Amino acid sequence: MIGERREEDTVAFEIEGGVAWVKFNRPEKRNCMSPKLNRQMGRVLDELEFRDDVGVLVLTGEGASWSAGMDLKEYFRETEARGLGATRQAQREAYGWWRRLRWFQKPTIAMVNGWCFGGGYGPLFGCDLAFADEAAQFGLSEINWGILPGGGASKVASELLPFRKAMYHALMGENIDGRTAAEWGLVNEALPAAQLKARVSEVAQVLLKKNPVALKATKDAIRRVREMTYDNAEDYLIRAQEAANSFDGEGRKEGIRQFIDDKTYKPGLGAYDKDRQAG
C-alpha cells in the first residue's frame, strides 16, 4: 500500500438484513490495532449501536487475519516515546471500545477468520459469541516479545480457559488452531473457512428473531453473574428482569399469549413472533 491508511479507513462496515458486518481493515498490517484503528472502532460502534436497522453485530477481519493484536510500532513504541499521558490515552482508546463491545446493546459475534493474537483477545471476549475458521491461529504471543499478556488478555484467558490451559497458553507462546480453540472454549465452534460466514449468518438470523430487550438483558446477565454469589445473582436477575419489563412493553406477555391462547408456537422449540402483537 502506498502511504499511510487514513484513520477512517482502518475500519469498514456494511449493514445487510439487520446484521452489521464490521471489519478490522488494515490487512496490510494483519489488522493489528493502532491508536487510529481503536479510535475509529469507537466511532463505528457509536454509529451502529442504536440504529433500528442493526440487530446483530459481527466483527471480522479483512484479508487473512482477524487481528494480529496491538500494533507494536504505533500502539507501543511510538506512544511510549510520547510519554505516560500518551500511553494512558492509547490504553483508554483501546480498552474503551472493548468495554463498549462487552456491554453493546445488540448481540455481538466474533467471526475469527485468521490470526488472533494478544490484544485481540480483548475484542474476542467483548463479543458474546465467537466462531472461527478451523485453520485460524490463536496465540498469547506477548511472552515471545517480552511482556505479560496485558490489556485484559490474561483476564480473558483465565475467564475462558481452565487454569492449566490458561497458564500453558500464556507461558509457552505457542499458537492453537481454531479447532483447538473451540475444544478449549475460546470460541463456540470452528468450521472450514468456506462455511464460516454461512454459519455466522445462520446464528445472526436466529438472534434477529428474538425479543431485543430480552437479548440485552440476557447477555448482560450472563456476564454479570459470573462474579456474584448465588444470592446476589438471584437478586440481580429479579431486578434486571423487572427493569427490562419497563422497556419491553407487552413483549413477554405476547410470548405467553401466543403459546397459551393462540397455540401458534412452543417456547421449547423456538421464539414467538415478535412482529405480531395483540395490542
The residues, ordered by sequence, that sit 6+ positions from 135 with a Cβ below 8 Å of its Cβ are 177, 178, 193
Which of residues 55 and 61 has its CB atom nearest to ligand ACO in the complex? 61
Single out the residue of 60, 108, 141, 211 in contact with ligand ACO (rule: CB under 6 A): 141
- The stretch near ligand ACO (CB under 6 A) out of 28-36, 37-45, 94-102, 227-235 is 28-36
Shortest distance, position 192 Cβ to ligand ACO, whole Å? 21
- Is the CB of 56 or the CB of 124 nearer to ligand ACO? 124
Q: Which is nearer to ligand ACO, 27 or 251 (CB)?
A: 27
Specify the pairing of strand 11-16 against strand 19-24: antiparallel
Phi and psi at 127, nearest 5°, equal -80, 140
- What would the x/- binding string for ligand ACO be over residues 70 to 89, using CB under 6 A? xxxx----------------
Q: Which amino acid is at 34?
A: S
Minimum Å distance from CB 103 to ligand ACO?
Answer: 22
**Least Cβ distance, residue 71 to ligand ACO (angstroms):** 4
Per-residue buried b or exposed e for 44-75, using 16+ beta carbons within 10 Å of the residue's own CB: bbeebeeeeebbbbbbbbbbebbbbbbbeebb
Query: Which residues in the chain belong to E strands, given as ranges?
Result: 11-16, 19-24, 56-61, 65-67, 108-112, 115-117, 129-133, 137-139, 176-177, 189-191
DSSP string of 17-61?
TTEEEEEE--GGGTT-B-HHHHHHHHHHHHHHHT-TT-SEEEEEE
Instruction: Tell me the C-alpha to C-alpha distance, in Å, between residue 52 and each of 19, 48, 183, 214.
Output: 11, 9, 36, 16
Looking at the Cβ atoms of 49 and 78, the one nearer to ligand ACO is 78
Q: Please choose, from the candidates 107, 143, 147, 145, the residue with its C-alpha nearest in 3D space to the C-alpha of residue 126.
A: 107
Pull the grid cell for residue 31: 489488522
Q: Are 137 and 175 in contact (CB under 8 A)?
A: yes
The number of CA neighbours under 13 Å toward the Cβ of 50 is 1
Q: Out of 142, 189, 248, 254, name the contact with ligand ACO by CB under 6 A.
A: 142
Minimum distance from residue 6 beta carbon to ligand ACO (Å): 17
Q: Does residue number 169 form part of the binding site for ligand ACO (CB under 6 A)?
A: no
Q: What is the closest distance, in whole angstroms, from the C-beta atom of residue 141 to ligand ACO in the complex?
A: 3
Q: How many residues interact with ligand ACO (rule CB under 6 A)?
A: 16
Q: Which of residues 195-214 bind ligand ACO (CB under 6 A)?
A: none
What is the smallest separation between the CB atom of 218 and ligand ACO, expressed in angstroms? 30
Residues in region 34-73 near ligand ACO by CB under 6 A:
68-73
- Least separation in angstroms between CB 143 and ligand ACO: 9
Helix or strand run (H / E) with residue 235: helix 230-248
Grid coordinates representing 224?
Answer: 454479570
Cβ closest to ligand ACO, residue 41 vs residue 208:
41
- Give the nearest distance from C-beta 272 to ligand ACO in angstroms: 43
Site for ligand ACO in 104-133 (CB under 6 A): 115, 117-119
Residues at the site binding ligand ACO, with contacts judged by CB under 6 A: 29-30, 32, 68-73, 115, 117-119, 141-142, 151
